[in-house]
């Protein structure tokens, strides 16, 4: 019987099975990560995956949790947006869809507004605030219930709702983030959105200071 040391010395690296990991990025790009010469190599996958021996396990479970921010303001994922029973249960009347590539499912049942936003740190989320806020305010004025969603209900939709609360409730980023996080614990806006929301707060604070100064000038004249 060969000793363990002999077996190790006799073992050929050619017998090792090559391992790889297929990853789909948020933008839909498919890449393959492989190890070679003790280094990781990343290449873009051109052909569709054939379901071979290496890959990753998709999470196919549905996320039907709806975060209730206000009685009339809800946050969730595309799964909930495509579940009529869930939407009816929460008395939804308006749906703000800020996902990319997600169709509206019940056009005859709800008032929709769709704005395709990419979940990338470099996306200017602030540029979408005015039309999103207008739609949310419209739903509120009509005594409706608005459901805001993206794909996962974690980054884009959360950033929109946080920004809306900062604007309408005149509260800080931290307070708005906490309100939304408590209602839907899974939220996690990407780093770019988080920074933009902080910048948004700074801009609002500057405007408030300018307004105060203008009022003081008017009182002294």
For the chain, domain boundaries? 17-46, 67-209
Which is more confident, 186 or 218?
A: 186
- Residue 22: pLDDT over 80: no
Could you report the per-residue pLDDT of 59-94, keeping only the tens digit for each? 567 999 999 999 999 999 999 999 999 999 999 999
The arithmetic mean of pLDDT across residues 146-154, rounded, is 97
Taking the alpha carbons of 93, 69, 76, 122 in that order, is the dihedral positive or negative? positive
The arithmetic mean of pLDDT across residues 185-208, rounded, is 90
Say whether pTM exceeds 0.85. Answer: no
Write down the pLDDT at residue 18: 52
- Residue 47: pLDDT over 50: no
CA-based nearest residue to 136, from 179, 105, 167, 91: 167
- Residue 43: pLDDT over 80: no
Q: Do residues 96 and 135 lie in contact, with contact meaning Cβ atoms separated by under 8 Å?
A: yes
Write down the pLDDT at residue 50: 41
Write down the pLDDT at residue 60: 64
- Single out the catalytic residue among 20, 132, 150, 209: 150
CATH of 67-209, one of 1.10.3720.10, 3.40.980.20, 3.40.50.410, 3.90.190.10: 3.90.190.10
Could you report the per-residue pLDDT of 107-140, keeping only the tens digit for each? 999 999 999 999 999 999 999 999 999 999 999 9
Q: Is 132 a catalytic residue?
A: no
Query: Tokens at residue 166, please?
Result: 């900062």
Which is more confident, 202 or 24?
A: 202
- CB contact burial 187-220 (16+ within 10 A = b; e otherwise): bebbebbbebbeebbeeeeeeeeeeeeeeeeeee
Write down the pLDDT at residue 206: 72
Q: Do residues 99 and 93 lie in contact, with contact meaning Cβ atoms separated by under 8 Å?
A: no
Query: Tokens at residue 220, please?
Result: 């002294």
- In 46-195, beta strands by DSSP E: 67-70, 73-76, 94-97, 111-114, 146-149
Query: Residue 218 — very low, low, confident or very high, per pLDDT cuts 50/70/90?
Result: low
Which is more confident, 57 or 153?
A: 153
CA-based nearest residue to 184, from 221, 218, 147: 147
- Residue 181: pLDDT over 90: yes
Query: Residue 21 — very low, low, confident or very high, per pLDDT cuts 50/70/90?
Result: low
Distance CA 26, CA 154 (A): 13
């Amino acid at each position: 019987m060969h000793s363990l040391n002999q077996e190790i010395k006799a073992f050929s690296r050619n017998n090792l099975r090559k391992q790889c990991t297929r990853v789909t990025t948020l933008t839909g790009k498919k890449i393959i990560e492989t190890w070679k010469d003790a280094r990781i190599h990343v290449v873009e996958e051109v052909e569709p995956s054939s379901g071979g021996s290496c890959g990753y396990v998709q999470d196919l479970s549905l996320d039907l949790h709806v975060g209730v921010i206000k009685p009339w303001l809800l946050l969730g994922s595309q799964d909930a947006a495509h579940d009529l029973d869930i939407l009816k249960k929460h008395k939804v009347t308006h749906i703000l869809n800020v996902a990319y590539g997600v169709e509206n499912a019940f056009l005859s049942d709800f008032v929709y507004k769709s704005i395709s936003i990419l979940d990338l740190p470099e996306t200017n989320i602030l540029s979408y605030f005015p039309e999103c806020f207008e739609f949310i305010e419209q739903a509120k004025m009509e005594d409706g219930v608005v459901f805001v969603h993206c794909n996962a209900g974690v980054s884009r939709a959360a950033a929109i709702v946080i920004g809306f609360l900062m604007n309408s409730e005149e509260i800080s980023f931290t307070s708005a983030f906490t309100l939304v996080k408590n209602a839907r614990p899974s939220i996690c806006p990407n780093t770019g959105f988080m920074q933009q929301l902080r910048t948004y707060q700074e801009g609002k604070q500057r405007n408030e200071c300018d307004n105060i100064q203008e009022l003081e000038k008017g009182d002294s004249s």
